[in-house]
Structure 1
C-alpha cells in the first residue's frame, strides 16, 4: 500500500485494508467514544499548549482534528516550571446525558484532576471543575444504572463523584491491581457490556513490557474476576514492528462490532531500536468469546472494518498563514501568549516574537506540528528582520536539532543532553531565506546492530529547489530511548531574538517509508 492509499480514498477501502497507526505521530493514550455514527477521540498532550487534541471520524480509521479541548489559559496553566513530559496526562472522553465529558490530569500547576464538558466536541469546552478528592493519574468516568458517576484511576482505585461540582462521595476503594507483580497498573476504563462491568487496564509500564489486561464484575465496585487469558494484548518479547502496545479504550461500532484503540510505537534502526515519532494511536478488532474480549492482531496493514469508508478531509501540508487564527494542529511549548505571535502584523506571514533566547529555554516562542511520517520534508521561508530564529526538530529542551538564520548567517545547532554545538554555518542574504529539513528513514533491509533509526538533513534551499545540506545528523538522539519521557518529535518554527517572520510552512511526507534520495556520507 502506498502512502497515498494509507491517507485514504474517497471511494471505499483501498484493497479492503487500512494502515496502522490510524493516528500517526505523537498521539498517545487514546480515548474514544461513539455518538450515533460519529466517533470522537482524544490524546495526551503533556507540556504542549493547547492541550488534548480532539478528532472526529466516521469509520475509526480516517481522523480529522476538530479542535483542542483545553485551548485557553483559563482552562490550562502550564507554567515555565513544567517539566518536559509533564503537564496533561491521559484524558478519558465520554458522552452521557446529551453532553460530552472529559476528565484529565494536569501534572503541572500544582497537579490534580479536572473535568470539562461540551455540547459540541469541537468546542467551546467549559471551564474546568477540579477534583481535589481524586488523586493520581489516568482518571476514567462511567455512570451506573442509578445515574451515579464513578471515577476510576491508576492504582487501580475508584471513588464516586459529583461530576458537576467535583465533590467526592464516600471513600476510595481498591478494585484490582492487575497481574501479580506487574508494574504500573494504570489507564483504567470501565464499561457495562451485557450483565457485566468490564475493567480494562494497562500494566507493565509504557515501554516494551506494556500490556492490556481485563477483569469483570457484576457491579462497578467489584469484586473483580481477572480474565484467564490475561494479558489480552501485549507485544513484549516479540519482534513485531509495533511495540509497547497498551493504554487502550474499547468502543462498540454502530453495527455491533467492537474495536480497540491503543498506543504503540514503531522502533527503528538497530539494537535496541529507537522510536522517534512518539507513542501513536493504533486500531485493532475485538471479538467476544465466553464473555471475554479477544483482541485481534495489531499489524501495520489490517483488514478494514466491515462498513464503507467515509474518509475525512486531510490536513493541508502547507500553511500560508493567511487566516487570522491558527489550525488546531499547531502547538506551542507550555503557553502561547497573544503578544508572542501574530498573523496580522505582516499580513500573510506568521510573526513570532522572542521570549526565551533559544530552544533550551522553557518559555521559548515556538510553533510546531507533530512529525507523523518516518520520512518527510519540511521547509519554510523566514525573514529574520534583524532577529534570529528558524526551523527546529524538538523532543525536549535537552534534545533538539535546528537550522536558524540571523546576522547574515545560517547555522545548524545541535543539543544532545549537556552538549550544545554549532556544527555548520553558511553566509546567507539579509532578506528572506528558505530553510529545509529532510527526515530520511532507512531503506528496507538497510540494517545493522548500530544502525540509526533515521537521519536528519538541515540546510538552505534555493528558489529552484536545490538543497545545500549543511549537516546530516543521526536521528537516534531525538528519540525517546535516548531522551526519555512520553512525547515525540514536533517540528516547527521559533524565534530566539527579536521578531522573526515566516511566509509559509510546508510539511510533505515522502512516498513510502524508505530513503527518497541517495545518501552522500555518514551522519554526524
Structure 2
C-alpha cells in the first residue's frame, strides 16, 4: 500500500486553506509579518506541493510598517475558485483589516486589495446557488458581501460558535448536497486545539452541532503531533474527501518545545450519517489514489535568476534598494537598511526551516560590511553567525531589576537579575551532561543540557547545575539554575544566582533602557581585524558567545541543526552547531541549545527562518544551501 508522510508541508506553514480546480489543488497559508505574503502552492495529489509564488508580492498589496509586531501582519487566508477567478481573502492585523484579492491564474498577478469592513480575523468565502457570496469570520459571524466592491450587503449575523471552548475561529462554509456545513477551530491554537462542525439549511442558520464534536483533537494525547486544528475540507477528483490542517511537532523534555512553527498536515475524511468523520492525524497515512511526485527543490540557490525564488522572505518589507541579483550576476548583493537584527528595519533574506534535522550554509564574499547567517524567530530571539571588522566587543545592558558590572571586580544579581562583567585569563570547572564545543585551542562545556558556546583561546570553562552556558574569549562564566551564562575578554569574573541570567560583555557594558539590551562601547570585533562571531539574542540579553579571526578571502558560514532524540531532564528540542570554513579549513565555533528559538520561549505564531543579513555596508553572497540531514542524534 502506498503511503505518505506528515506533515505534507513542513515548516512555518500554518492555517492552511485548499481548493481544487479540475485535477489540480491549490493551497495558501498565513505569513504574518513576513514579505512577500501568503505563499501559494500547487499539487496534483494533495501530498507533493510546489510553491508557485506569493499572493501578496507588491508593496501596494501588503505594506507592513516597521512597528508591526512579531506575529502581526497577515492572518489565516482562504483560497477559493469561482466564476473563472481565484479568490484569496485574508486579514492584515494592525495594517488595514480584511481584504480580498483575485487572479485568473494562481501564479498571479493578483489584484490590488478590495477592502471589506468586517470585524475579526480568519475570513472565509462561499457562494450559494443564486451567486450570493457569504463571508464567515472568527467569533463566529457571517455576512453577505459583494466581492467586487467589498460592500457588506447583509449582516454580520451570529452563527454557531462551537461547543463552548475558547477562541472559536477559522470558520469555513461548504454547500454539500442539501446542507450548509460549518467547520471551525476552537480551544486555542495550542495544545487544546480542535476541529468542530455544525450544519444548517441556510448560512443564516439555525445550526445543528455535529453529534461527535470535536471531529478532531489531539488534546491530552501522547501523539507526536499536537495542536491539531484550523482545518479546511476538499473533495478529490475521485470523490474522496480530505482535510488539511495545522499541527506542531514538539520535542525535548517536558513541557516540550516546537521550533518549526505550525505546519500543514493531511488526513483522510469519511462521511457517516450526514457528518464528516476524521481519525487522528498520524505521521504516516495511506496515500490518495492520485499520486504525482515532484522533483525535490535544489539544495543550492546560486542566485543566477534575475528574481528571488518565491520561498525567500523578509521581515515586514524588502525595499528594492536593499537587494540585487543583477548588480553582480550570479550573486546576491545585500545593502544595509538598519544597523541591528534586534530592531525592525534591517536587511534580511531568509527561508523557513522545514526539517527537524537540517543544514544551512551561505558563501560570503570578502568585504568590509557586517553580515552573516542568522536563525531567527523574531527581533528578540535569534542566533547569528556574523562576519565583520571594526570596533571592540559586544555588551549587555541594564534595566529594571538588572545589574551590570564592568572593570576588575565581579558582579552578582539576585533572582531574575542580569549580571554583566569582564574577565581575562580565568577558568572554571563544572559537572553534568553538558555539551562542549571547541574553536581554536579552547573547549567549553555547559551544565546539564545547557547552551554552550566557545571561541579561540587556551583555557576551558564550564557551567554547572541546570544553567545555560555561553562562553566567548578566554574565560568562562557560570550561571545559576535556569540562568544564561556568557563571557568574553576582560578582567573579572561574574556569577549569576538562582534564576538569574548572566551576561558578560568585553571590558565593560553600557546600560540599556528598561527592556532593551545594552550595547558595549564599540559593539563588534577589534578594528582592522576580520572575525567571525556567534552572537545570541535571547529576550533582553544580547551576547557574543564565540569569536574567531578570519583570513582574507571568502568564507562559508554554516549551521547544522540536530533534533534531540530520547530526551531526558533538561533536554531542549535540538542543538544548533555553527561553523565557518575558509581556505585554511573548517572550524566549529559554537553549539547552542535550540529551546530559546522555540515558540514556548519566544511566544508567537511563526517558526524559525534561516537566512542572510547585512547590518553595515554591503555584503555579497555567492550561494545559499539548505538541505535536510540524516540525524546525528542529540541525546
Q: TM-score, normalised by structure 1?
A: 0.93
Aligned to 1:147: 131
**Aligned counterpart in structure 1 of residue 206 of structure 2, from 209, 216, 223:** 223
Verify the 8 A CA contact 1:403 1:458 in the aligned structure 2.
yes
Task: Look up the match of 1:279.
Answer: 262
User: Pick from 537, 552, 558: which aligns with 1:415?
Assistant: 537
Distance 2:31 2:131 in 1: 31
> Is 2:549 the counterpart of 1:424?
no
Instruction: Give the CA deviation at 1:171.
Output: 2.6
Taking the aligned partners of 1:62 and 1:467, their CA distance within structure 2 comes to: 36
Please tell me whether the aligned partners of residues 142 and 203 of structure 2 are also in contact (alpha carbons under 8 angstroms).
Answer: no
Q: In structure 1, which of residues 249, 252, 266 is the aligned counterpart of residue 235 of structure 2?
A: 252
Give the conservation status (yes or no) of the 8 Å contact 2:553–2:582. Answer: no
Which residue matches 1:22?
8
Aligned with 1:168 (options 138, 148, 152): 152
Q: 2:592 aligns with which of 466, 473, 482?
A: 473
SS at match of 1:368: strand
Q: Hey, what's the Cα distance between the residues in 2 that align with 1:447 and 1:438?
A: 19
Whether contact under 8 Å (2:554, 2:582) holds in the other structure is: no
Residue 21 (structure 1) shift = 0.1
Paired residues of 1:64 and 1:313 also in contact (CA < 8 A): no
3-state SS, counterpart of residue 140 of structure 1: coil
Identify the match of residue 632 of structure 2 among 478, 493, 515. Answer: 515
Instruction: Report deviation, 1:386.
Output: 1.1
d(CA) in 2 for partners of 1:315 and 1:447? 32
Alignment partners' CA distance in 1, 2:577 and 2:586: 10
Partner residue in 1 for 2:378: 396
Mapped contact 1:211–1:233 kept (Cα < 8 A)? yes
Match of 1:304 in 2: 287
Q: Name the counterpart of 1:448.
A: 568
CA contact (8 A) 2:313 2:351 kept: yes
Query: What is the alpha-carbon root mean square deviation over aligned residues?
Result: 1.2
Distance 2:549 2:159 in 1: 64
In the alignment, is the contact (CA less than 8 A) between 1:384 and 1:406 conserved in 2? Answer: no
Residues 304-354 of structure 1, C-alpha deviations (whole Å, 9 max, x = no match): 1123x1113322221001111111000011111110000111221100000
Report SS of the residue matched to 2:339: coil
Cα offset, 1:431, TM superposition? 2.5
Quote the Cα distance in structure 1 between the aligned partners of 2:622 and 2:154.
57
Pick from 290, 314, 326 the counterpart of residue 332 of structure 1: 314
CA distance in 2, matches of 1:101, 1:141: 8
Shift of 1:429: 2.0
Q: 2:88 aligned with 1:102, yes or no?
A: yes
1:3-18 pair list within 5 angstroms: 16-18=2-4
The answer to whether the aligner puts 1:288 opposite 2:271 as a matched pair is yes
Matching residue of 1:497: 616
1-side partners of 2:632 and 2:250: how far apart?
A: 16
Inter-partner Cα distance in structure 2 for 1:46 and 1:384: 34
Inter-partner Cα distance in structure 1 for 2:368 and 2:145: 55
Structure 1 residue 384: Cα displacement = 5.1
Match of 1:461 in 2: 581
Q: Give the whole-Å Cα distance in 2 for the aligned partners of 1:80 and 1:456.
A: 29
CA distance in 2: counterparts of 1:432 and 1:81, whole angstroms:
35
Where does residue 4 of structure 1 map in the other structure? none
Whether contact under 8 Å (1:77, 1:108) holds in the other structure is no
What whole-Å deviation, never above 9, does each CA across 1:40-88 have from its counterpart, x for those lacking one?
Answer: 0000000000000000000000000000000000100111010000000
Stretches of structure 2 lacking an aligned partner (at least 5 in a row): 390-529
Aligned partner of residue 33 in structure 1, secondary structure: strand
1:448-504 CA-partner distances (Å, limit 9, x unpaired): 13211000011212459x541111100000000110000000000000100011000
Q: What are the ranges of 5 or more consecutive residues in structure 1 without an aligned counterpart?
A: 1-14
Query: Is 2:218–2:280's contact at 8 Å kept on the other side of the alignment?
Result: no
CA distance in 2, matches of 1:88, 1:347: 33
Q: Does 1:212 align with 2:195?
A: yes
Partners of 2:269 and 2:155 lie apart in 1 by 34
Provide the residue aligned with 1:352 in structure 2: 334
SS of aligned partner of 2:121:
coil
**Deviation readout 1:406-465 (Å, 9 max, x if unpaired):** 11000000000000000000000232111110101123xx2213211000011212459x
Q: Corresponding residue for 1:81? A: 67
Instruction: Name the SS for the 2:588 alignment partner.
Output: strand
Q: Does 1:126 align with 2:107?
A: no
Asked if structure 1 preserves the Cα contact closer than 8 Å seen for 2:217 and 2:280, the reply is no
- CA shift, 1:140, in A, is 0.3
Q: Give me the whole-angstrom Cα distance separating, in 1, the residues matched to 2:552 and 2:376.
A: 26
Deviations for 1:185-235, whole angstroms, at most 9, x for unmatched residues?
000000011111000000000000000000000111111000010000000
Which range moves more in the overlay, 51-60 or 346-355?
346-355
Q: 1:5 maps to what in 2?
A: none
Residue 156 in structure 1 maps to residue 140 in structure 2: yes
Aligned-partner Cα distance in 2 for 1:115–1:35: 19
Checking the alignment, whether the CA contact within 8 Å between 1:26 and 1:487 is kept in structure 2 is yes
Counterparts in 2 of 1:377-392, with a 5 A limit?
A: 377-383=359-365, 385-392=367-374
Any idea what the Cα deviations from partners look like across 1:124-170, whole Å, max 9, x if unmatched?
Answer: 000110112x1110000000111100100000001110000000012
Structure number with larger C-alpha Rg: 2
